[in-house]
Amino acid sequence: MSMVVFEPLKEEDFPAYWTYTVESWMREMLKAALLEEGTTYVEAEKRVKQFMPEGMKTPGHYFMNIIAENLKIGKIWLEIRGE
């Protein structure tokens, strides 16, 4: 049984992760009809920025690579909220 490890995302990897996140969010919102057809990337990016206004440095937000058997198998974004 292999162990899964979480490793902080490096700052230089964040721009690619950000683009993926915005595009993925946009696709899912369009599929669910929660976003108008023709919405631009810039408009979608503004909406996603509401969740993490300071990008990678947004307090309480953590961005990590998921590592299994020394291979990056994914990424995770966690937000820790107070009680």
Specify whether the CB–CB gap between 26 and 44 falls below 8 A: yes
Phi/psi at 12 (nearest 5 deg)?
-70, -15
How far lies 31's CA from each of 39, 40, 41, 64, 83, in Å?
13, 15, 15, 27, 33
23: domain CATH number? 3.40.630.30
Q: Which domain holds residue 45?
A: 4-79
DSSP 40-67: -HHHHHHHHHTT-TTGGG-TTEEEEEEE
pLDDT at 81: 87
- The rounded average pLDDT for each run of 10 residues, N- to C-terminus, in the chain (83 residues) is 89 94 93 90 92 93 95 93 78
Tell me how many domains the chain contains. Answer: 1
pLDDT at 1: 62
